[in-house]
């Protein structure tokens, strides 16, 4: 059986500290528990393709999604911590990747890098609350 982590942290690096500040401000509404993401579903029924839209609420998959400071030596960076709900449906990974994709598309030259994945929040991150 596959085991998925409860915590995943990503480092977001922007082109400048100002880009990082603007992106963090924009991101607040994108990672709110009530944020809704739409997914176009195209199931095939009897040889015909139908389309439907499914809505996914961020809070249904994550206990929280939090912004944290980046490294003091890199003012153009910050971190995004995803705390997955233990009962999250399998769509949680897709939803996390949609958030990360939106981050990369929101500002030029922005990158996201996985920092860690584990079942317990590291003590060094707890101070970011």
Whether 127 is covered by a domain: the verdict is: no
Whether 75 is covered by a domain: the verdict is: yes
Residues whose CB falls within 8 Å of the CB of residue 44, separated by 6 or more in sequence, listed in order: 50
Query: Does residue 123 have a pLDDT over 90?
Result: no
Confidence class for position 125, pLDDT limits 50, 70, 90: low
Whether 129 is covered by a domain: the verdict is: no
Whether 1 is covered by a domain: the verdict is: no
Whether 85 is covered by a domain: the verdict is: yes
Whether 100 is covered by a domain: the verdict is: yes
How many independent structural domains does the chain possess?
1
Domain that holds residue 55: 7-120
CATH code where residue 19 lies? 3.30.70
Identify the pLDDT of residue 20: 96
Of 69-73, 93-97, 109-113, where does mean pLDDT reach its minimum? 69-73
SS3 per-residue string spanning the chain: CCCCCCEEEEEEECCCHHHHHHHHHHHHHHCCCCCEEEEEECCEECCEECCEEEEEEHHHCEEEEEEEECCCCCCCEEEEEEEECCCCCCCHHHHHHHHHHHHHHHCCCCEEEEEEEECCCCHHHHCCC
Whether 18 is covered by a domain: the verdict is: yes
Confidence class for position 121, pLDDT limits 50, 70, 90: confident
Whether 125 is covered by a domain: the verdict is: no
């Amino acid at each position: 059986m596959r085991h998925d982590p409860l915590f995943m942290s990503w480092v977001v690096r922007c082109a400048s500290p100002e880009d990082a500040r603007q992106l963090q401000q924009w991101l607040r509404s994108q990672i709110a528990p009530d944020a809704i993401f739409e997914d176009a579903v195209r199931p095939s029924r009897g040889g015909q393709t139908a389309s439907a839209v499914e809505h996914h609420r961020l809070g249904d998959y994550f206990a929280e999604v939090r912004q944290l400071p980046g490294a003091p030596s890199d003012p153009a960076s910050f971190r995004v911590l995803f705390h997955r709900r233990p009962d999250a449906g399998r769509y949680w990974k897709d939803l996390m990747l949609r958030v990360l994709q939106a981050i990369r598309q929101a500002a030029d030259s922005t990158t996201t890098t996985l920092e860690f994945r584990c079942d317990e929040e590291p003590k060094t991150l707890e101070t970011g609350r």
